[in-house]
Amino acid sequence: MASNITLTAGVRQNLLSLQSTADLMATTQNRLATGKKVNSALDNPTNFFTSSALHSRANDMAALLDGMATGIKTLEAADNGLTSITKAIESMQSTLRQARQDKSFQTKSYDVTDLTQITVSGGAFGTNIIPPIELQNPQPGTPAELSSSAAYAGPTFAPAGTLGAGAGGRAIVAFDANMAGGVGDTITVNGNQIDLSTVPGPATIGDVTTAIGTALGADYVVSNDGTSIIIEDSTATGAESTPPVVSFSPSGAATPASATFSYDPARMGATITVDGNPVTVSGDVTSFGANLQTALGNGYQVSVDTVSNEVTVASTAPGAGTVNIGGLAATPATTTFTGSVAGLLADDTITVNGAAIDLTAATDGATIAAEIETAIGGGATVSFTGPDQFSITYPAGAQTGALVTADANVSAVSVTDGFAATTVNSTPGIAGATVTTQEAAVDEFSLTYDNKTAAIKVGAGTETERALSINNQLKAAGIENIEASFEAGSLVFTAKNNEAKALTITGPDAAAIFGTSPTNTGTAPISPYNATQTVDKFVEEINRTHAGNLRASNDNGKLRIENLSTQELSVSVDKDGSTGPLAPSSDTIDGNKVRANLVEQFNVLRDQLDRLSDDASYSGVNLLRGDLLKITFNETGTSTIEVQSRDLDGNEQAINTTTLGIEFAVGPDFDSDASIDGLLDKLTGALGTIRSQASNFGTNLNIVENRTAFTKAMMNTLQTGADSLVLADTNEEAANMLALQTRQQLSSTALSLATQADQAVMRLFG
């Protein structure tokens, strides 16, 4: 409702000014109260929403800090575990060094005579049966030796004119009459070109054999068996010989069949066949060629041309025949669809290939098919195959199937395009001469001596030639101490040194040549004793035959035996030998108790390794057990780090006694200084693994800590930026408030003056 009161212009202007000032004061008071100049989207939409987005991102990053903090603690827990494991391993090393320094091995002394026999068991020998210890008579020893069970003339080989393995490598040429008598006809044997054009025709296998043999001379044996020419190099026999390399030119040689076709997956079916072998059609021509080669195997050679996309398949066996390629014939384009006969007859049209076909003359499904066939032409055949089912078939070839438009009367349209036939250029193989090779006849066996084995092949030749060949093969295998020779026709292997080492022959022909048990062990020489007294002789005998297990010394005329083991040693002393009147006396020598106790200490420390590893977890994640720690660094999840204990190959690896190669120790492990040194080496390697893993964890920890500092800095930047968009300047707003208050007072005074002017009228009625 409009007011009936009229204010003067001055009063109204002053009222508006006061209202404006009041609004500004309210805004300024709100800014001073909240500390923000933008409190809602109405104040400044751009700043408000930008600030909100920045605050949201800062909050998201704050949530990530919790994950980073957990990751840091998990890495610190793993580092604590590695530090403790390192100390445990160092304690184990100290235990081993203490054991190595301890020499408190137990001893006992015995009376001995020249006939005394001492039997020992247990101790460092374990369960091994040790021959009685007695004084030995000096002897020169014997070498290991094996001889063939009968005179040995080498392998049996096929004579000239007979197929089979000969004395040397053979080339066998399947004869063809066209290989000789023609212009330019030649055969090349190991680089020697032989002219066969002068052989009178019609050439016979005998004529060609004679021509080749005459040209090659005495270095080759050339013969035939009526169908094949046999060429054998007579200058080398046995394992050292190789079959001659033979080729023909230009006629007479058999050639392989081949077939070439263009590769176009769009025009080919799902598979093709090569001589009945199915191959899937997929990929580019290079990958298809590789798949084709794999499917066909060594009987064919596949090559591809990446420019023309042509594939060639050639048989590797020369001779008459063809390579048959199937699956490249043309296929027809077809279309099938469901058409409501009643609906089509009612509508009088159907759309095929974009054109409407008039069906007014049709009366049923068969006549509908006839109308469509007449309309589309192109040699297509249209069939009505059942209730509401139609099919359109074009002649075979590269053609697109008919497009029947789906509508209320037509559905389930399926279109298959046709394929054009792919041309196959086939080159039949030509019958003719072919070459096969035959390795020389050899006997094969393996000879083992001093932990080395040589595979021996013995071919034809004189005894001197065969012995030289065998010795060369032994030398090539690193067996220098065995020599082959022939003695009275027998093949003999003899060790060059008198040693207690076994000579063994195994392999396919070992039993036939050397008998059923071709093994012989030599005996080591026994040197005379340096000592003259019985006790000193026994000391010398024990210290040279059982060093490391026992130690002997002279104890005022008695034989002192020291048990160099942590295990108890049983000792039986037959003072007068087996023929003496006194029964043997039995005794035991205790093991080294200090080292035995240190074994237990070692195992206790070892057990702690796995316990430390199991306990080094934080928040359910244990990096020392191989757990995966994943830490996310940004709010989108695109920046992460994965921390896991891994081996040198990058595979997951827990840190425990198994992966560190620290096995449970047993008494014999502490028997000798050498075995203790081996354990020390393993611990050194374990420490290297621990330090390497600690270094990896340390690197990851640095990354996470650096990323944590970065995230905190980014949060501060985001929050500062967000606040700068919405926070008010309190100093400025306070000044504004003072100015507005002054302005309000002035406006009130002006309003009072304007009102007084209006009151002057009242004086007229006074």
- pLDDT the model gives residue 13: 72
CA geometry: angle at 354 spanning 353 and 359, to 5°?
85
Task: Give residue for tokens 């393993």.
Answer: 682
Q: What's the token pair of residue 699?
A: 């690197």
Q: What is the DSSP letter of 585?
A: E
Is residue 498 within 8 A of residue 142, CB to CB? The reply is yes
Q: What's the token pair of residue 574?
A: 């037959």
Domains of the chain by residue range = 1-35+728-751, 61-101+596-715, 107-138+526-591, 145-153+442-521, 170-249, 258-326, 332-427
pLDDT digits over 518-543, tens only? 999 999 898 899 999 999 999 999 99
Q: What is the DSSP letter of 340?
A: -
The rounded Cα 566 to chain-centroid distance in angstroms is 45
Q: Over the range 351-381, which residues count as b (16 or more CB within 10 Å of their CB) and which as e?
A: ebbeeebebeebeebeebbebbbebbeeebe
Q: What is the mean pLDDT of the chain?
A: 86
Query: Binning pLDDT at 50, 70 and 90, where does residue 37 land?
Result: low
Is residue 256 within 8 A of residue 315, CB to CB? The reply is yes
The phi and psi torsions of 651 (rounded to 5 degrees) equal -90, 150
Is residue 348 within 8 A of residue 358, CB to CB? The reply is yes
Least Cα distance to 253 among 431, 393, 399, 89 occurs for: 431
Rg (CA), the chain: 52
Task: Give residue for tokens 């500062």.
Answer: 720
Q: Is 547 left (phi over 0), alpha (psi -120 to 50) or beta?
A: beta
The rounded Cα 531 to chain-centroid distance in angstroms is 63
d(CA 534, CA 528): 13
Task: Give residue for tokens 């009945």.
Answer: 276
* Range name among 180-194, 626-640, 715-729 with the lowest pLDDT average: 715-729
DSSP string, 128-195: ---PPB-----B--B--EEE-SS-------PPTTS-S--SS-EEEEE--GGGSSSTT-EEEETTEEEE
CA geometry: angle at 423 spanning 422 and 425, to 5°?
145
d(CA 61, CA 709): 12
Q: Provide the CATH topology of domain 61-101+596-715.
A: f41 fragment of flagellin, N-terminal domain (1.20.1330)
Q: What's the token pair of residue 203?
A: 């050439």
pLDDT digits over 246-305, tens only? 988 766 677 888 999 888 887 777 888 998 889 888 889 999 999 999 999 888 999 999
pLDDT digits over 404-430, tens only? 888 888 988 888 888 777 778 888 887
Q: What is the DSSP letter of 218?
A: G
d(CA 618, CA 77): 6
Is residue 107 within 8 A of residue 560, CB to CB? The reply is yes
* Range name among 18-27, 425-434, 666-675, 704-713 with the lowest pLDDT average: 18-27
- pLDDT the model gives residue 589: 94
Report whether pLDDT(561) > 70.
yes
- pLDDT the model gives residue 750: 66
Q: Residue 764: CA atoms inside 13 Å, Cβ hemisphere, count?
A: 5
Higher pLDDT, 239 or 158: 158
Task: Give residue for tokens 């620290």.
Answer: 662
For the chain, give the percent of residues with pLDDT over 70. 90
Look up the CATH number of domain 332-427: 3.30.70
pLDDT digits over 689-748, tens only? 899 888 888 888 898 889 888 888 888 887 777 666 766 666 776 777 677 677 767 666
pLDDT digits over 363-385, tens only? 999 999 999 999 998 889 999 98
How many other CB atoms are there within 10 angstroms of residue 219's CB atom?
12
DSSP string, 730-753: HHHHHHHHHHHHHHHHHHHHHHHH
